[in-house]
């Protein structure tokens, strides 16, 4: 069995070395772990590609370059499709953030859950034992509210965290989904792509499971690349579209309106008292 780790990366030159160190440490402790990294560079303007080439010693690393910035959804899709095409049916395909907030040491627990019979395993913020460091309270409250909304509108057995991108997928199941749905499995823009693929795989009949995450935002260098307002707007649209079984449209006017509304509410909440 080989484990394929997809790392979408945009300007992560400062964060990738500790991620690679974590992978090397894990492989040294787990002598039989066959780990292949696929770093997908999304048109970075820093030295992400150079750092990947120079700091990947002792690791099997494949670099895919977008050339220009295409966004998380396209970058995630490219890496996952590349892994699915190369993987054997008994392999595990994983994805995690390249900003050093997700820890490679959690791979073993997630892989074990796949081997126990699950098709998708999520590192969840809402399982007992989860630890979160460095995430603002307002962001945590918002994430919790979105989780409750998702579970009410589109409940999926075994899922509480719909948006965390740190996941493991059974290669055979992902390959079946791609064979039946094509790239439509990933057809969502922005950070909402993580919710989109979850809902599409649920329709495919996936067996889901979760493990508690250790999320270390305090370790990453640089600001978050997620725009909260537009992400919420697009995520809600994905949820509604899949719940109502809409065609795969891109209702940009509604997304823009919702994004502006959330941005206005956010600006009011942070406006200093006069």
**Interval 103-128: pLDDT, tens:** 999 999 999 999 999 999 999 999 99
CATH number of 2-222: 3.90.550.10
Mean pLDDT of 11-37: 93
Mean pLDDT of 37-51: 97
Q: Which of 67-71, 144-148, 152-156, 211-215 has the lowest mean pLDDT?
A: 144-148
Q: What is the mean pLDDT of the chain?
A: 85
Q: How much helix, strand and coil, in percent to the nearest 5, is found in the chain?
A: 50, 15, 35
Mean pLDDT of 61-71: 95
Q: Note the pLDDT of residue 233.
A: 64
- Percentage, residues of the chain above pLDDT 90: 61
DSSP labels, 97-114 = -SSSSS-GGGHHHHHHHH
* CA–CA gap between residue 9 and residue 31 (Å, rounded): 27
Q: Note the pLDDT of residue 272.
A: 47
**pLDDT of 270 over the 70 cut:** no
- ∠ Cα 120 12 52 (to 5°): 85
pLDDT band at 252; cut points 50, 70, 90: very low
Q: Note the pLDDT of residue 190.
A: 62
**pLDDT of 44 over the 90 cut:** yes
Evaluate the CA torsion angle 265, 150, 177, 118 in order and state its sign.
positive
Give me 96's structure tokens: 């995690």
**pLDDT of 215 over the 70 cut:** yes
Q: Note the pLDDT of residue 227.
A: 55
Give me 124's structure tokens: 């969840």
Q: Residue ranges of the domains in the chain?
A: 2-222
**pLDDT of 229 over the 80 cut:** no
* CA–CA gap between residue 237 and residue 233 (Å, rounded): 6
Q: Note the pLDDT of residue 224.
A: 59
* CA–CA gap between residue 252 and residue 256 (Å, rounded): 6
pLDDT band at 223; cut points 50, 70, 90: low
């Amino acid at each position: 069995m080989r484990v394929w780790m997809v790392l979408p990366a945009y300007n992560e030159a400062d964060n990738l070395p500790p991620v690679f160190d974590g992978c090397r440490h894990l492989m040294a402790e787990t002598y039989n772990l066959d780990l292949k990294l696929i770093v997908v560079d999304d048109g970075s303007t820093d030295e992400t590609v150079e750092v990947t080439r120079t700091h990947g010693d002792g690791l099997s690393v494949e670099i895919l370059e977008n050339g220009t910035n295409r966004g998380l959804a396209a970058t995630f899709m490219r890496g996952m499709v590349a892994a699915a095409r190369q993987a054997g049916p008994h392999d595990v395909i994983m994805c995690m953030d390249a900003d050093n907030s997700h820890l490679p040491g959690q791979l073993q627990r997630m892989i074990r859950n796949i081997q126990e019979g699950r098709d998708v395993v999520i590192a969840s913020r809402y399982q007992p034992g989860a630890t979160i460091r460095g995430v603002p309270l307002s962001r945590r409250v918002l994430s919790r509210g979105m989780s409750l909304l998702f579970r009410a509108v589109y409940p999926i057995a075994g899922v509480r965290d719909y948006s965390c991108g740190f996941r493991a997928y059974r290669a055979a199941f992902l390959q079946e989904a791609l064979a039946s749905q094509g790239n439509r499995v990933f057809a969502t823009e922005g950070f909402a792509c993580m919710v989109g693929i979850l809902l599409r795989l649920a329709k495919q009949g996936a067996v889901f499971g979760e493990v508690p995450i250790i999320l270390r935002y305090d370790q990453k260098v640089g600001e978050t690349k997620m725009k909260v307002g537009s992400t919420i707007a697009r995520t809600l649209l994905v949820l509604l579209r899949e719940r109502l079984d809409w065609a795969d449209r891109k209702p940009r006017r509604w997304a823009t309106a919702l994004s502006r509304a959330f941005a206005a509410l956010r600006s009011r909440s942070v406006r200093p008292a006069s």
